[in-house]
Amino acid sequence: SLTSLDLSTFNVETVSDMTGMFYYCGNLKEINTTGWDTSNVGNFSYMFYHCWGLEKLDLSHFDTSSATTFYYMFWFCRNITELNVSGWDTSSATAFRHMFNSLYSLKKLDLSSFSCESLSLGSDRINNMDAMMNQLGALEELWLGEYFGSDPDHPCVSSAFVGDVAHTSANNRTATCNTTGTLVIHCTQDVADWCARTALRWVNSGWRGADTEIEKAVPVSFLDLTTGKELFVTWREN
């Protein structure tokens, strides 16, 4: 039944693992972690798992430079409307699986500082990005940095937006189709081209699985991360 928690005086400078720290604190509405030194934390998995009472969470002060694992970190924080992870250094990260999955109320997500350069190649890379941003039903704006993964050999964008890419039919689509209005992505031209070739083409045009009705099409547009000018892409047909 805990609704508020002030941990601003905690000294966490030697902590290396915060896995499941607020796991299932469903009624928690306020968490104060101001002043934390998280520079030695390697694992943030499940930290805010099922914290559905949270509506606003500012973690921009977290030092994530040593972090390798973010599995399910914000899974099913369904009422969060504002989540600030801007400035995070994920250059050491190797696992983002389901990190932002099921944040149904989130409208904006700034991942412009996120890097996926440390992820392994091949299927491990895809698995470790699996459904990172699936079920973002209210998403209207997204920022993706140049190192998020636009290299065709590193298909991070595709796996981040869909569930297991080995699945077909209704499972192989992104639930950002439920977004109201349009989806604007601030990124580089390379990332925009990759989005248009992979998962986001199903958002832009709608997607019909073998046993499902067609999903609502949500127009996706791209703006240059630096200049704000519109980026043009050629959408791959479904």
CA distance 79 to 100: 12
Q: What is the pLDDT of residue 120?
A: 59
Q: How far is CA 236 from the centre of its chain?
A: 23
Residue 121 and residue 162 in contact, taking contact as beta carbons nearer than 8 Å: no
Residue 115 and residue 148 in contact, taking contact as beta carbons nearer than 8 Å: yes
Question: What pLDDT band is residue 227 in, cutting at 50, 70 and 90?
Answer: very high
Q: What is the pLDDT of residue 168?
A: 32
pLDDT, greater one: 120 or 93: 93
Residue 198 and residue 157 in contact, taking contact as beta carbons nearer than 8 Å: yes
Task: Give alpha helix (H) positions in the chain.
Answer: 122-129, 156-161, 189-197, 200-205
Question: What pLDDT band is residue 3 in, cutting at 50, 70 and 90?
Answer: very high
Q: What is the pLDDT of residue 139?
A: 85
pLDDT, greater one: 118 or 138: 138
**Each residue of 191-225: pLDDT tens digit?**
888 888 876 777 777 655 544 555 567 788 999 99
* 56 phi and psi angles, rounded to 5 deg: -135, 140
Burial class (CB in 10 A: 0-12, 13-18, 19+), 194: buried
User: Measuring CA to CA, how many Å separate 45 from each of 95, 99, 234?
Assistant: 9, 8, 36
CA distance 97 to 196: 22
Residue 7 DSSP code: -
Burial class (CB in 10 A: 0-12, 13-18, 19+), 157: buried
Residue 65 and residue 91 in contact, taking contact as beta carbons nearer than 8 Å: yes
Region 99-108: mean pLDDT is 90
* 5 phi and psi angles, rounded to 5 deg: -145, 120
Q: What is the pLDDT of residue 162?
A: 54
Q: What is the pLDDT of residue 175?
A: 47
Region 61-78: mean pLDDT is 96
**Each residue of 143-200: pLDDT tens digit?**
998 877 645 555 456 567 654 333 333 333 444 545 566 789 999 998 888 888 876 7
If we measure between CA atoms, which residue out of 72, 81, 78 comes closest to residue 51?
78
Q: What is the pLDDT of residue 102?
A: 87
CA distance 76 to 55: 12
**Each residue of 122-140: pLDDT tens digit?**
555 556 877 788 778 788 8
The per-residue DSSP string of 225-237 comes to TTT--EE---PPP
Residue 98 has pLDDT above 70, yes or no: yes
